[in-house]
Structure 1
Amino acid sequence: MSHLRRIFLTLLLLPAFSAAQETHNHPAPEKLGTVSFPISCKPAVQQQFDRGVALLHSFAYADARNAFQDVATLDPQCAIAHWGSAMTYFHQLWEPPIPPATLTAAQQQIQLAQQIKTASERERQFIDSLALVYRDAATIPFHTRALNYEHAMRDVASTNPTDVEAQVFYALALLATASPTDKTHANQKKAAALLEPLDRAYPQHPGIPHYLIHAYDNAELAPQGLEAAKAYAQIAPSAPHALHMPSHIFTRLGLWDDSIASNLAAREAAHQQGDTGEELHTMDYLVYAYLQSGRDKDAAQVVQQLKNEPRLNEGDFKIAYASTAMPIRLLVERNQWSNAAAIVPPAGAPPQVIAIALWARGLGLARTGHSTEVRLEIDKLQQIQQQLRTSGRDYWATQVAILKHEVMAWSAHAEKRPEEAATLMRRAADEEDAVEKLPVTPGPILPAREQLGSLLLEQNQPSLALKEFQTALANAPGRYGARQGGARAAELSSQN
């Protein structure tokens, strides 16, 4: 058993061990890391404010909001406390970054912060920078407002070069505005350059390793994120997200046992804290890791546990994505095409989540010879693609286009049009390779490049298939399907 896995299993077992003791059953001391964000408010609220910032850095938004509200209650003239509350509504690396239902509350908090008029120039800079995110939200596109915030935080960091929080929040802003089509990862590298020296100087700060993991969460940089992955869960084990985040790097590197241990611990913590979105997010990563380890029964058990959950809020993107993706991963990775063909899209889910269900249904229909019905799913995917494009959600429109082309490819293959099928699937693979995934997912449900290898194998082109599987494994090391497909393609190639 690896050292990392022992750490995570120890964290997982701590609650059960504590409960078994016959001595006084005191909860473990809260451990969120060490943050120092000096403020001009009453000295009595400084510690609680720092706790709020520590929670914020581990994306424990609800608990952070409570902490900042407590500060504002104790010191009504503490403007920066309302900045903190407004920050908890700005989920910079999540989808959506500002939940529509919370926009009004966020605007009220930042307006309060500005109205109180702190005497601290530094605090005023933080407040005015965040105000750019919420100002004129009905007329200015979010991407523009996010860029305005990033530029403002660059000025805050430049004006306060020795202020750790200024540098860390600027690094987060860089990550939030990084283009998913920039394969040079310019923003990620700039953020990492800010964070790496701070990591050495402030080894117990929770935000630094957290954001380093996000900066390195891509195929190019993932090996550089292993140290941050090792550290973060030990710095802030009271935050479920801190227990989960190392698995982003473990997934990129194909370290499945470590990913499983990470997400088992995170799932337990999220469940205990009643954080359904985080619990489902960790379960999705867990299913993915189990499948890549060949532990299909364990993956199936997690999916069955999902089915036993009470009614979920499918309107919440984080919940809808994970609850939809998990059972689909299980079916398509195990080639259970008849079951995939029977998938029903989740009612009330965001369109890009519904598209995943339509895609899986389309694959199932194509792989079981129902070509007429496949066309209906392709048309639905086209409608969602257009809907997303019209609303300015180009990233998700591109993702749906990829799904559509994959279904079209398998449909063409079923109808004995091999060249068209290969062209369509190669197009999907090239489109997918050109954009980065978002943190909401451990990876595409079934990578297009891997599907291209499978398609070429079925077309009796093992040498070409082998090249695609090798590329797929370079993009996503350790994936079970690509390993198995590559081995089969190599065996057949050697026989020719």
Structure 2
Amino acid sequence: MIKASLAIAAAAAAGLSLAQPALGQSDSSQLGAVHFDTSCTPEAQKLFDRGMLYQHSFWYRASQQVFGDALRADPECGIAYWGIALSLLWNPHVPTPAKNLAEGADAIEKGKSIGTKTQRERDYLDALSAMYADYEKVDHRRRIQAYAKAMEQLARRYPNDDEAQIYYALALNTSASPADKTYANQLKGAAILEPIAIRQPQHPGVAHYLIHLYDYPPIAEKGLEAARRYAKVAPAAAHAQHMPSHIFTRVGYWKESIASNVESSRVASADNEGHDQLHAMDYLVYAYLQLGQDEKAAAIIDEMNGVTGFTETFIAGPYALAASPARYAVERGDWKAAAALTVRPSPLAHVQAITHFARALGAVRSGNPEAAKADIVKLTELRDKLRDAKDAYWSQQVDIQRQVATAWLLYAEGNRDEALRAMSAAADAEDKTEKHPVTPGVLRPARELYGVMLLERGNANEALAAFEATLRKEPNRLGAYVGAAKSAEKSGDSAKAHDYYGQVVAIADAADSTRIELAEARAFLTKR
């Protein structure tokens, strides 16, 4: 009776009531194939495997519910508490909300208290406990690194356990330094998963995590096979429909990204998964803007405002709601609209910073530099808040935003040479880090904005180099192609100008008529 009560209590503590009944009714044949061997009863084992299907596609509410069902089927199934604790972490690429950390730590302790029947299951619980140990005092970055070390030990102890290898590969990615441009962790993780992909082609986690591991500019093309496979492996999972677009975005396949995220948004909406839906929609807005299809991007933004079923303390939904309207204005150079953006209330400092950055840039570029100063001050405050919270990554990203806005303020005030030096430094700083998986990209790359400044200053050759550098990092960006074409034309390199204007037409051939860049490109090509 004590163990049964513990199971019921854990289910309640884990918030299983948040999961909708429909979540447990999805056709498992549409989620892939996973077997995680346990010592639980046959009925609980079947449920546990189903929970793993959801978990490997980051469908946390569903996996949490089904692991709870496994406990109800077998109150002595201690490893199910590991599943609940794993579900409560949510996306391992971002910090877990404090409430979830408390519930997850409780689930780990309950799993240990009722015990497990095998050493392997005890080792899984011990390894995951690294993500919850001293969570009140130890930041996410240090805990994820400790977890990666624990998973390394687990993977070595059980070399024939694919699940141990898979979760170690994922931990290698989530614990990797954003400043490591050799991508040592990511390539090591991919080397672990590629052979498993051959043995288990229907495993959703393998395809999913390979996409994350290859989600970096120099190695993105290595992820195309996994990207095209994952959506077919788990068509019922919104995240599986979305994830291919991470690779498509990296290589500039905008039409493929749109198709991926249209379907992801549809599936997420049907399951009331607000975070997944908004995340997909932000990628949609980004892709439509690269095609010059502004009306479609605007329609998505309007639709986003009606999405529910997300949490303000978890980054995916709030980030998308802040980023999409900001990128819509900044990408199109609608500086008055950017300056007029309203900061959406958010407990997340880096989410607020997105809008303040767009406002500052918009004010400066629309001829009102004085108005930008308050937003730049706010960016400094938000950066310091993130530093105080020991959030090294996002404090750096916000500081880069501050640097860019300050550079343009200097430019507007007539300090042109100082502005160019500041803008170059900001671009260098951004190039040394990586975009976060939550976003398809920054509002506009710092290197691209540096090219714009150089071109306005009359340095066409240097501007061309900046735009070309942007394209090497972020292929098929429409703004970079336009900038490269204009720079080449002004520098007298008509061959390059012809090539780049041709790329503008190729990408944006179906752009809205309001996109004057397309008309200019066609006019140049007609003269040749």
Tell me which interval the TM-score lies in, with the shorter structure as reference length: over 0.9
Q: 1:427 corresponds to which letter in structure 2?
A: A
Q: List aligned pairs for 1:200-219, cutoff 5 A.
A: 200-219=198-217
Which residue of 381, 384, 387 corresponds with 2:385? 387
Q: Deviations over 1:227-249 (max 9, x none)?
A: 00010000011110000000000
**d(CA) in 2 for partners of 1:396 and 1:294?**
29
Aligned pair partner of 1:486 in 484, 487, 502: 484
Which of 145, 148, 151 is residue 149 of structure 2 equivalent to?
A: 151
The range that moved more, 343-352 or 48-57, is 343-352
Cα 1:47/1:28, change in 2 over 3 Å: closer
Report what 2:111 is aligned to: 113
The CA distance in 1 between the partners of 2:164 and 2:67, in whole Å, is 18
Residues 170-209 of structure 1: pairs in structure 2 closer than 5 A: 170-209=168-207
Corresponding residue for residue 416 of structure 2: 418
Write out per-residue CA displacement over residues 124-159 of structure 1, whole angstroms, 9 at most, x where no aligned residue. Answer: 110111112112212233322222211111111111
Superposed counterparts of 1:319-468, under 5 Å: 319-468=317-466
Aligned to 1:282, which of 271, 280, 283?
A: 280
C-alpha separation in 2, matches of 1:154 and 1:94: 18
Deviation at residue 483 of structure 1 after TM alignment: 0.7
Query: Quick check: 2:273–2:310 contact (8 Å CA) kept in 1?
Result: no
What SS does structure 2 have at the residue aligned with 1:134?
A: coil
2:255 corresponds to 1:245: no
Question: Secondary structure at 1:445's aligned position in 2?
Answer: coil
Q: How does 1:226-241 map to 2 (within 5 A)?
A: 226-241=224-239
C-alpha distance in 1 between matches for 2:141 and 2:328: 35
Q: Match for 1:254: what amino acid?
A: G
Q: Distance in 2 between matches of 1:312 and 1:159?
A: 38
Cα pair 1:429 1:448 within 8 Å, conserved: yes
Q: Secondary structure at the match of 2:131?
A: helix
Deviation at 1:29, TM superposition (A): 6.4
Letter in 2 for 1:52: G
Deviation at 1:171, TM superposition (A): 0.7
Q: Please state how far the C-alpha of 1:314 moved relative to its aligned partner.
A: 3.8
Residue 94 of structure 1 deviates from its aligned partner by 3.6
Partners of 1:250 and 1:259 within 8 A in 2: yes
Contact 2:249–2:257 (Cα < 8 Å) also in 1: yes
More deviation in 366-375 or 180-189? 366-375
CA distance in 1, matches of 2:134, 2:385: 24
Please list every run of 5 or more consecutive structure 1 residues that lacks an aligned counterpart in the other structure.
1-25
Preserved CA contact (<8 Å) 1:92 1:173: no
Residues 143 and 27 (structure 1), Cα distance of their counterparts in 2 relative to 1, 3 Å cut: closer
Within 5 A, what are the aligned runs for 1:259-338? Answer: 259-309=257-307, 313-338=311-336
Tell me if structure 2 keeps the 8 A contact 1:93–1:439: no
Aligned partner of 2:56 in structure 1 is: 57
Amino acid aligned to 1:468: A
Letter in 2 for 1:130: L
Contact 2:89 2:100 in 1 (8 A): no
Please tell me the residue identity of whatever aligns with 1:63.
Answer: A
Instruction: Write the letter of the residue equivalent to 2:87.
Output: T
- Amino acid in the other structure paired with 2:43: A
Distance 1:279 1:416 in 2: 44
Counterpart pick for 2:160 among 155, 159, 162: 162
State the one-letter code of the partner of 2:394: W
Assess if the C-alpha contact under 8 Å between 1:317 and 1:349 holds in 2.
no
- Looking at structure 1, the residues matched to 129 and 488 of structure 2 have their Cα atoms a distance apart, in angstroms, of 57
Query: What is the distance in 2 between the residues matched to 1:185 and 1:359?
Result: 29
- 1:221 aligns to what SS in structure 2? helix
Contact 1:450–1:482 (8 Å) recurs in 2: yes
Other structure's SS at 1:478 match: coil
1:485 maps to a residue whose letter is G
> 2: distance between equivalents of 1:359 and 1:196?
40
Contact 2:272 2:308 in 1 (8 A): no
Give the partner amino acid of 2:350.
Q
User: Paired residue for 1:35?
Assistant: 34
2:42 maps to a residue whose letter is P
Is the 2:272–2:309 contact (alpha carbons within 8 Å) kept by the matching residues of 1? no
Aligned residue number for residue 469 of structure 1? 467
Change (3 A) 1:35 1:159: same
Structure 2 gaps, min length 5: 1-24, 495-528
3-state DSSP of counterpart to 1:88: helix
- What CA RMSD, in Å, does the superposition of the two structures yield over aligned residues? 1.6
Aligned mates of 2:446, 2:174 — CA distance in 1: 26
How many residue pairs align between the two structures?
Answer: 470
Q: How far apart in 2 are the matches of 1:31 and 1:60?
A: 13
Deviation digits for residues 89-139 of structure 1 (CA, Å, limit 9, x no counterpart): 12353422x211212211111111111111201111101111121122122
Q: Which amino acid aligns with 1:174?
A: L
Q: Which letter maps to 1:341?
A: A
| Percent identity of equivalent pairs | 42
CA distance in 1, matches of 2:310, 2:224: 34
Indicate the residue corresponding to 1:22 in structure 2: none
